[in-house]
Amino acid sequence: MVRNFTHLCGLVGILALSAGAHAATITPTSVSGSGVYSGALSELTDGIYPADYSLWNAPGTVSWVGTAPTFVFDLGQLYTLKDITLTVDNNDYYFLQVSTNGSQWNALTTVLAFDGPVTSGMDTFSSETGSPDYSAFIDFQPQTVRYVRLSAVGGDELYSVGEVSFQGAAAVPEPQAIALMLAGVGVAGVAARRKRQS
């Protein structure tokens, strides 16, 4: 019984450590928008990146005028966000913030109008090293997040987003959560031993 308990504890530890090890695509559970904009919010996470140089308000984009609209991506649970890739109108500034609870926000990164090779229309930026669209300007340290908020903060007042994708892994449990899991395994082991003895 002790050997089985030790194996279970080791398994829980391995699972906890491996939870944040592998980065994969994170699919948001929902996207919400505030303010006035054109286009369907589903376009933002459909996996289709508008071609470089395509029109800022072409089909497949969400476009708007002025800096009032904001867009919030709910990832559905806590993740360690490692990279982001997005297609935006090239001559504007976009600000990305992150939150664990949807009410307190921290800066993640800013897409700069002068970054990127495209001189007109849509342009794709990525924080993923090795990506053909990699931009050091939007790179960031991994963050524990559930929500990502995107807004425009400057430019020609005509803004557009064609796609936003996220890479990361489920957040590693806090030490307290790991302790609770181990305690649960211990209680189950004791209960099984008592049942066997009786």
101-146 pLDDT, tens digit each: 999 999 999 999 988 889 889 999 999 999 999 999 999 999 999 9
Note the residue count of the chain. 198
Q: Do residues 12 and 96 both lie within one domain?
A: no
CATH number at residue 114: 2.60.120.260
Does residue 55 carry a pLDDT above 50?
yes
Looking at the structure, do residues 95 and 177 belong to the same domain, yes or no?
no
At 68-89, the pLDDT tens digits run 999 999 999 999 999 999 999 9
Q: How many domains does the chain have?
A: 2
Q: How confident is the model at residue 96 (pLDDT cuts 50, 70, 90)?
A: very high
* H and E: helices and strands count for the chain: 2, 9
Higher-scoring residue by pLDDT: 184, 31: 31
Q: Work out the angle at residue 71's Cα, subtended by the Cα atoms of residues 65 and 76, and round it to the nearest 5 degrees.
A: 170
Range scoring the smallest mean pLDDT among 17-21, 85-89, 131-135, 173-177: 17-21
In the predicted model, what is the mean pLDDT of the chain? 85
- Flag whether pLDDT at 60 surpasses 70: yes
Q: Does 197 fall in a domain? A: no
Q: For 102, list phi and psi in degrees, rounded to 5.
A: 85, 0
Token digits of residue 17: 């450590």
pLDDT given at position 17: 43
Claim to verify: residue 51 and residue 118 sit in the same structural domain: yes
> Is residue 31 scored above 80 in pLDDT?
yes
The answer to pTM > 0.85 is: no
Domain around 188: 1-19+172-192
Comparing 21 with 14, which gets the higher pLDDT?
A: 21
C-beta contacts of 40-48 below 8 A and 24+ residues apart:
41/71, 43/162, 43/163, 44/71, 44/73, 44/161, 44/162, 44/163, 44/164, 45/73, 45/163, 45/164, 45/165, 46/163, 47/163, 47/165, 48/162, 48/163
Q: How far apart are CA 115 and CA 2, in angstroms?
A: 59
Kindly state whether residues 41 and 10 are assigned to the same domain: no
What phi, psi does 193 have (nearest 5°)?
-65, -45
The pLDDT score that the predictor gives to residue 159 is 97
